[in-house]
Amino acid sequence: MSKINKIAVLTSGGDAPGMNAAIRAVVRTATYHDLHVFGISQGYHGMISGQINRLERKDVGNIIQRGGTILKTARSMEFMTKEGRQQAYDSLQDFGIQGLVAIGGNGTYTGANIFTEEFDFPIIGVPGTIDNDIYGTDFSIGFDTAVNTAIEAVDKIRDTADSHSRLFFIEVMGRHSGFIALYTGIGSGAGNIFLPETDGNIEELISVLKKEGRRKKLFNLVIVAEGNTNGGAVEIANIVKKELPNFDTKVTVIGHLQRGGSPTANDRMLASTLGYAAVDSLLRGERGKAVGVQNGKIVLTDFAEAISKENELNKDHMNMARILAM
């Protein structure tokens, strides 16, 4: 074990269900090893302004089932400046903090990477983002919950779509990543999926819908990731309406419902595992790396690599989605 005896934990960027479970795991693992743990409120912004408070075991009781983050989260433009990072470092020094666990996504890792290099400060990242686009882990905290939330919503939309023979375009989150859309589309039995990673063929969709219309099947579900190159669900639906005016076409944007809610068992397990592994890594002298789970095993990935690469969609899953929708 290293000589670290005081560490801090923060959550940064977009919130994700399971972040609280990760915080709990960090605090309780650190306490087990007789470390003092501090929680930083409002992410890097709070690190700059000194919003740092001691966390005990009791402070993280009854939070594993809660969505969001008890430490709050924020994006900090000031932390992008050298002066801001110096203030953040000074704040950590004022509290005698010797290591940090940063829970978040790509932006969180980017800030942590720069900070580690500038001040030779030990930081371990934990992937917390519903988008599941972080390289170095099969799944990120919050993704499973977000997909389950989306599928539950789609299942309910399916009931009314079927009852009224309607065509529904359902938009899910994913500006740059199609993981939520792909998993939601497969899990809900959608007729088509539009992803940011591929150029969805609207003409092909219209052709398929025309064939189904001749078979008197006017009920269908189309999942659209918000970052699709053809536009969001509203834009795609408007194009289809012009070509198929006889279809009763509706649009639903699930939106921020996907960020909230109690984390699933999978997310609680993943968050607990990664929070535990983050503290263990700090104690073993690791720094400038992110913990992840690949093929059921804990792995460490350098921040620079995690930032520069992306977690790519499984091409077999994409092909399977197309075949199963036929």
Residues with catalytic roles: 131
Alpha helices in 35-170 (DSSP H): 43-49, 82-94, 106-119, 143-164
- DSSP letter for 141, please: B
Would you say the C-alpha torsion 25, 28, 34, 35 has a positive or negative sign? positive
- C-beta separation of 219 from 167 below 8 A: yes
- How far is it, in rounded angstroms, from Cα 226 to Cα 298? 32
Q: Any residues with CB less than 8 A from the CB of 123 and at least 6 apart, and which? A: 99, 100, 101, 102, 112, 115, 116, 287, 288
Following CA atoms 189, 190, 194, 200 in sequence, which dihedral angle do they give, to the nearest 10 degrees? Answer: 110
Which residue do the tokens 């004022």 mark? Answer: 94
Question: Using DSSP, how many helices (H) and how many strands (E) does the chain show?
Answer: 11, 11
Three-state DSSP class for 232? coil
φ, ψ of residue 291 in degrees (nearest 5): -85, 150
- How far is it, in rounded angstroms, from Cα 106 to Cα 317? 24
How many CB atoms sit inside 10 A of residue 16's CB? 34
- How far is it, in rounded angstroms, from Cα 174 to Cα 167? 22
- C-beta separation of 45 from 76 below 8 A: yes
